[in-house]
Amino acid sequence: MKLFKSISKIAIGLTLLIGSLVHAEVAVIVSASNANAALDQDTISRVFLGKTSNFPDGSQAIPVDQTEGSASREAFNDKVLGKSSSQLKAYWSRLIFTGKGTPPKESGSDAEVKDLVAKNPNLIGYVDASVVDGSVKVVFKF
């Protein structure tokens, strides 16, 4: 009986692990104290591409990226921005070398981005949905 219990625990654990690998959901988050409710993909994309620096309610929006190569970043670039990492690099090099913009700051992994965003109502980031807690608010999910 005990053996059976632990085997089923392992099985459930494995299922959850595989499930989370396959269905890893990424959430775009702002601080719980940010006044904006849901944001649409176009707004998020304009903030992350430096085309606008404001949330819809007019407050300042500062995007934070994850470190290059993270799974959440790849998914975000692909699904929300619709660009490959080299296209994004080319996009930013057009702005960097003309003094017209700088890319979002690279601010670590899921957990680190969540902690940063929680503390500052002007920040917007994206994290794996599994690390979301009450300190942040999900404004978009994919």
Partner 1 sequence: MVLRKSGLAAAVLLACSPAAFSDDLNINGFVSVGASVLSNTDVHIGNYDDNASFSNDTIVGLQISKQVNDTTSATAQLVSRGTEDYNTEAAWAYITYAATEDLDVRFGRLRTPFFYYSDFLEVGYAYNWIRPSGEVYRLDTFSSINGVDFTQRFSTGSVDGSVQFYYGRFSDDFTPVDETYNIELRNFTGVVLNLTQGDFGARLSYHQADMYMPELGTKTGALDGLITAATGAGVGDKFVPDGETTSFYEAAVTYDNGDMFFIAEWTALNHETAIFNDDTGYMVSAAKRFDDTTIHLTYSNQSDDLESGTVGQIQKNLEGKESSITLGARFDYDTSTAFKVEAQYQDEDTYLGAPGESGMLYSVAVDLVF
Question: Which residues in this chain contact partner 1 in the complex, by CB under 8 A?
Answer: 42, 46, 51-54, 60, 68, 82-87, 89-90, 93-94, 96-100, 102
Three-state SS at 64: strand
Residue placing its CB nearer to partner 1 in the complex, 58 or 134:
58
| Beta carbon of residue 45, minimum distance to partner 1 (angstroms, whole number) | 10
Residue placing its CB nearer to partner 1 in the complex, 20 or 54:
54
| Beta carbon of residue 57, minimum distance to partner 1 (angstroms, whole number) | 14
Q: Which residues, 6+ apart, have CB-to-CB distance to 38 below 8 Å? A: 139, 140
Rounded alpha-carbon distances, angstroms, from residue 15 to 5, 23, 26, 71, 115:
15, 12, 19, 20, 28
- Compute CA 88 distance to the chain's CA centroid, rounded to the nearest angstrom: 16
Residue placing its CB nearer to partner 1 in the complex, 24 or 90:
90
Residue placing its CB nearer to partner 1 in the complex, 20 or 52:
52
**What are the residues facing 124 on neighbouring strands?**
30, 63
| Beta carbon of residue 40, minimum distance to partner 1 (angstroms, whole number) | 10
138 sits in which H/E element: strand 136-141
| Beta carbon of residue 9, minimum distance to partner 1 (angstroms, whole number) | 28
